[in-house]
Structure 1
């Protein structure tokens, strides 16, 4: 009998055999997958590791101590390989090392049964590996990959107590400049930990299929106004959440895209007082009702005006309180055109864009932008991106240009210029452009400055040329006065994009005020389409969440599904963020059409020149499919899944790039909150947002443990003068308060379900109490849904501020 072999009866029995079989099976899986990966041009590591594990397992099964040595060699080699690929980055190391640590602990424990004199050393190794494993487990609760703050912030001046009571949250961005900044200091970094639920209201309108609760309440005086995904409107008391009235527009359920991100407010009496010569305004203000009114958009393309005091339709607006937005549109198939974002009241005008069905056809309703009288509903002007000669209604028998770029998100407004700044989407269908008109190529995925008096375009700046990737401009432009480095400022438009690019443009001309360069991009487009040979890159501003992916970026819950993700990555067509679709290969799109940045937009502290924004990092796979398959009436359609793209040579199918275990195939974080220094054009701080605590794992099990992995985010941040940023759009069920100077989490309040809305805050004009309010209807990827409006406040008497 060999000296290094122990008799079977003294060598650990069945447990050692079982462990050996596990090593062999794992090794065979790694070897088989590794051979495929090498064939695709990938890493040789898995082949080598697989061979070592198979041989080590067989030796251990035979009770040969050399098997332990081979396992140790594989472990050491894995350490070297992992460091070479990802350095000391925590989350990328987890699936690479954790299986080896677990298997290594067992190997150390069974080693003495194969060679007795190794007992002390083996126990020492087992304890050391266990300590590393425990330390790694607890490290999962910490935030990794943070960028620490690089400069302190100055204290922001705030209005006095009465002025804070008189403030209002009138627009999606609170003000028309899109800052989402509240000049309040009652809740501050020192007392925010005492926040508690002040009241909760339930709408009874729980989102179903195709519906998401993304509303940001509007606050005017002692009234709070919210809408539901099915466009029901509720008026609540700001201090109690008690319902005052409700309005149900009887909107049809689209089952595809039910949204209401807010209701717009107009004070006809205040406007009439400021404009005594405006007869129309005087008549609206003198009516028996609707001197103050709300505007609501619906899934069947109605614009409804409601008396803010009673919730009753305003008889003097349109036809009995309603303007039909389908007028002039020609054919509008059900749910092919609707407003989903809050319409924007500017003076006595209401600016209306619209969401157009994604990816259905080359013949869809127009993306026309229109201004209506907020007093009467009369059409004041129209901008038809496909026909600038149509400035009101089209001639009889004609329609606005069909299938043009549209504005589905929120514009901003400069009162001095009397210009609105429009974030434009691309022309549908999103992943095909061979049929597009020159006007669509000019205005699609652009920022457009438009004169609010006439609807005439003043300038436009394109963020993606001939967009074939659904890189709409999703965020509300932020109007800021950017420092120019010489002690002066430039009136700027700062635009976030799905690409993770931040463009800073001169507000008067649309010219970049920080460096933008055109870089060559792939041009291997299918024959019947065309592509721009270059794309704009904003190299003078930080770029967030759009770094090119490599095989080393692939991830998973274990090294087995990480291997699967590596194989799929190698099989896909990937040439960077402008990878072009084809029929013969699945393409990988990153950042992807979720972003980067999305409709949540930024918050801006103008006094400190800091911009705060949430971003996602979620690659998508996609592929052209034959026309006959796309035209199958039983094929799943909608925003995700299949885009039919009728009238083009191909349909397009897409989905999130996930492992077989439902884990994203790329390394965390998947969602971040970033503070951008507008003085230095650099990241001030950055942090992952959200944990897996409420994430549903395979078999419907919730993770429970709050590993701070950084989850995909939806909705936007809100900043306050006291030095806080509030954010709620994560997969776990919390509203969070972040220190605006450092990025440190100071407080989190538990919500009944997740939220994907932007929070807001106000000071009650009656009690002087500051509230932070969030709509919680459910996180996007969670099955848990709700109908909650939750208000947080400090306990009564907890502050001496207003």
Structure 2
């Protein structure tokens, strides 16, 4: 029965707006809440939706009791949200903001529903003002960086002395140790805000964003007055370090149907000391040579001074990497990561097109003489007896674990460190051999002279998750507390773990535990009863998810993510694949990926960027796998030669947002001495992306998935561009505070590098900008930053 109150004008409009919104939202929340409850989730949303529907009906009939009922429900929602999500900003925002807007409207309408014409409006409007302030503060909080771990100690900055100043950047990771650390301090915390673009060059090689996987992920090299750059389509440019002016260009004429990229070049010069073998070669025609790995499986030696192929290397400068490999279908085997120059050999692995069949190209790692291109040694994970070319009529073992990421080299120990993948395919391993299981997802240390295995350490047993090791091992010397140091290798992994080993022996330096993990029930598969957990180092972004960890921009997509989560099986990091839909978190992209880490060796601080993306998957019986199944990253992969295909889907809301709570990507500083996180901050905003792929054009620092390398300088600065927004950023290595950023024309997946010009004495920061992973915007930019002359 109506009250007889007759609202007019704005109060009438606001009343119907409130009643309508509350009914629509309540209906959606209630219906989805009932669905959630039926799959084992919380009953809160079902009850909240029911209360909102009743309250909206009362409000529509001008009943104050409807507002009172909603007020009570809102108080319950506050209490429930804190108990469900804690005090984290983003989870609370998604649970309460929409309900808070309705509470604001309720406070505004309250006095107009009084039967008394003299009802006081002040208290209700005062409450509405308080709610409005809280809502505005919440909106403001969206633009604030919510640090996950704050630094509590100062980190000293050691000045660079003239004798230790870096002269050249000659390897992908600056050195063969993969440290990405530059002993330079002309650009420092005090003047980094003065950085400006010094010059811009163009490669003329734009990676086309058409689903083929073409991406610019290059970190240039610098030697003397020349910068060397490779492009996604296997071209090389030499540029003047002070102007960006092109000196020469080489086009390998490489062709490939997919995965076109070049992360880096190898470099060798005759003045380098050779510690691995006696050099009996004649004087080289190319005293300084670059090694270009192509997308169509060639290794090309190029004269660094002229841009011409080195005639004394291989066949007129070219080594055919398909020799001994057997059948290679187009796009099934190619080079994507940098070749490793280790003494007088250049070492290469190769990317294999996982998940198409068990009969994939071999995962062999090979070393070639830097002068002649002659095969020096081969490591075949499936046949240790093959150490050179396979016998006549044979090939290297097909389908074996490969090394697609970058390798590291310790000249003193004469060891090359190989981060291996797993034998193909990724999600079915019932037919893998004992040697496949022995060397997959492992760090393998081989003698740089012979290729013989000295030691190996496995980070995932019988890998069913595509947890191959994606990053270059970091080699650093860790203070032992007794005045000496321990030579350690630090390996990041897709499963969000960090392993620290003695790089001489392979024994863990940071504690690793073998823990029981769940077994699956796929017929014909076998399962490792335990997996290694690196508990002596921090785990990043790999917690076992709960329903309360689900997130959404609104209560609706929050509910849809909760329902999706409850309908899947999730048993932690090593949730085994099955014929039912299961959640793998982290997913196959990581955790940590190929960008690797950078380090401040003076303070034993390591910097790790990550991505937090879950993977929903299930096994598809062979009879149900479509003949054209070919999901390179997502979709159904065929896995021919096994009883199953495999479906892979990103764990996203209908809006295309990751379903678990933010951040979705962070930068962390790890103290290698204590094994603790010093600071951790979200990295990247939604400025150039957003729900349904629509750009939000707002710098909301929610923390987005990262892909690319970072770079650290001795001045206490950390540079990084591998975000989904279009920026190069500098962070204070002591605190993680962003101290500078500059807008790029397109996104970047490349690693920053730096050098001081031998001609002008000016320090430059270089970044390639070819396009972020999820963005259609592509370019061919090489951008140099420097201080104005008066600021040097």
TM-score tier, shorter chain, comes to: over 0.9
CA contact (8 A) 1:89 1:145 kept: no
Give the counterpart of 2:449 among 430, 447, 453: 453
1:336 aligns to what?
Answer: 332
Mapped partners of 1:397, 1:50: distance in 2: 71
Q: 5 Å matches for 1:285-296? A: 287=285, 290-296=286-292
| Post-superposition CA distance 1:483-536 (Å, at most 9, x none) | 334444211111111111111111121111121101111102302111101000
Q: 5 Å matches for 1:431-442? A: 431-442=427-438
User: Structure 1 pair 741/582, CA: closer, same or farther in 2 (3 Å)?
Assistant: same
Give the counterpart of 1:646 among 640, 645, 650: 640
The answer to whether structure 1 residue 468 and structure 2 residue 464 are counterparts is yes
CA contact (8 A) 2:520 2:576 kept: yes
Mapped partners of 1:525, 1:186: distance in 2: 59
Mapped partners of 1:541, 1:692: distance in 2: 31
2:178 aligns to what?
Answer: 178
Q: Displacement of 1:739 after TM fit?
A: 0.6
SS in structure 1 opposite 2:123?
helix
2:202 aligns to what?
Answer: 202
CA contact (8 A) 2:362 2:398 kept: yes
CA contact (8 A) 1:233 1:246 kept: yes
CA contact (8 A) 2:169 2:755 kept: yes
Give the counterpart of 2:343 among 343, 347, 352: 347
CA contact (8 A) 2:159 2:185 kept: no
SS in structure 2 opposite 1:214?
coil
Mapped partners of 2:334, 2:78: distance in 1: 54
CA contact (8 A) 2:277 2:449 kept: no
2:773 aligns to what?
Answer: 780
SS in structure 2 opposite 1:283?
coil
Mapped partners of 1:681, 1:480: distance in 2: 14
SS in structure 2 opposite 1:738?
strand
Question: Any runs of at least 4 consecutive aligned residues in structure 1 with deviations exceeding 6 A, and if so which?
Answer: 274-277
TM-score scaled to structure 2, two decimals?
Answer: 0.97
SS in structure 1 opposite 2:207?
coil
SS in structure 1 opposite 2:790?
coil
Q: 5 Å matches for 1:373-392? A: 373-392=369-388
Q: Displacement of 1:283 after TM fit?
A: 2.7
CA contact (8 A) 2:199 2:243 kept: yes
Mapped partners of 2:70, 2:120: distance in 1: 15
CA contact (8 A) 2:723 2:747 kept: yes
SS in structure 1 opposite 2:346?
strand
Structure 1 window deviating more from structure 2 (86-95 vs 188-197): it is 86-95
CA contact (8 A) 2:333 2:353 kept: yes
SS in structure 1 opposite 2:121?
helix
Q: Displacement of 1:163 after TM fit?
A: 5.9
1:168 aligns to what?
Answer: 168
Mapped partners of 1:579, 1:466: distance in 2: 13
Q: 5 Å matches for 1:582-601? A: 582-583=578-579, 585-601=580-596
Q: Displacement of 1:142 after TM fit?
A: 1.1
2:610 aligns to what?
Answer: 615
| Post-superposition CA distance 1:650-669 (Å, at most 9, x none) | 11121211111122111111
The answer to whether structure 1 residue 408 and structure 2 residue 393 are counterparts is no
Q: 5 Å matches for 1:350-749? A: 350-583=346-579, 585-633=580-628, 635-698=629-692, 701-749=694-742
Q: 5 Å matches for 1:256-271? A: 256-268=258-270, 270=272
User: Structure 1 pair 28/312, CA: closer, same or farther in 2 (3 Å)?
Assistant: same
2:319 aligns to what?
Answer: 323
1:19 aligns to what?
Answer: 18
Mapped partners of 1:70, 1:197: distance in 2: 59
TM-score scaled to structure 1, two decimals?
Answer: 0.96
Mapped partners of 1:225, 1:600: distance in 2: 19
| Post-superposition CA distance 1:209-243 (Å, at most 9, x none) | 31111000011111111111111111111111111
Mapped partners of 1:623, 1:784: distance in 2: 33
Mapped partners of 1:158, 1:429: distance in 2: 48
Mapped partners of 1:528, 1:106: distance in 2: 60
SS in structure 2 opposite 1:616?
coil
Mapped partners of 2:602, 2:583: distance in 1: 41
CA contact (8 A) 2:276 2:449 kept: no
CA contact (8 A) 2:489 2:500 kept: yes
Structure 1 window deviating more from structure 2 (30-39 vs 378-387): it is 30-39
SS in structure 1 opposite 2:791?
coil
CA contact (8 A) 1:367 1:403 kept: yes
Mapped partners of 1:314, 1:268: distance in 2: 14
2:58 aligns to what?
Answer: 59
CA contact (8 A) 1:6 1:64 kept: no
Mapped partners of 1:278, 1:486: distance in 2: 39
Q: CA RMSD in A?
A: 1.7
Q: Displacement of 1:56 after TM fit?
A: 0.4
1:227 aligns to what?
Answer: 230
SS in structure 2 opposite 1:469?
coil
1:29 aligns to what?
Answer: 28
CA contact (8 A) 1:358 1:639 kept: no
Q: Displacement of 1:13 after TM fit?
A: 3.1
Mapped partners of 1:5, 1:541: distance in 2: 69
CA contact (8 A) 2:336 2:351 kept: yes
Mapped partners of 1:77, 1:119: distance in 2: 25
Mapped partners of 1:798, 1:12: distance in 2: 61
Mapped partners of 2:141, 2:451: distance in 1: 55
CA contact (8 A) 2:346 2:368 kept: yes
CA contact (8 A) 2:276 2:344 kept: no
Mapped partners of 1:506, 1:216: distance in 2: 28
Give the counterpart of 2:762 among 769, 790, 799: 769
Structure 1 window deviating more from structure 2 (400-409 vs 201-210): it is 201-210
CA contact (8 A) 2:294 2:335 kept: yes
1:217 aligns to what?
Answer: 220
1:87 aligns to what?
Answer: 86
| Post-superposition CA distance 1:115-172 (Å, at most 9, x none) | 2625222211211111011111111111114311133222224231x763x6111111
CA contact (8 A) 2:520 2:577 kept: no
CA contact (8 A) 2:256 2:330 kept: no
| Post-superposition CA distance 1:82-106 (Å, at most 9, x none) | 1001111001111101101111222
Q: Which runs of 5+ in 1 are unaligned?
A: none
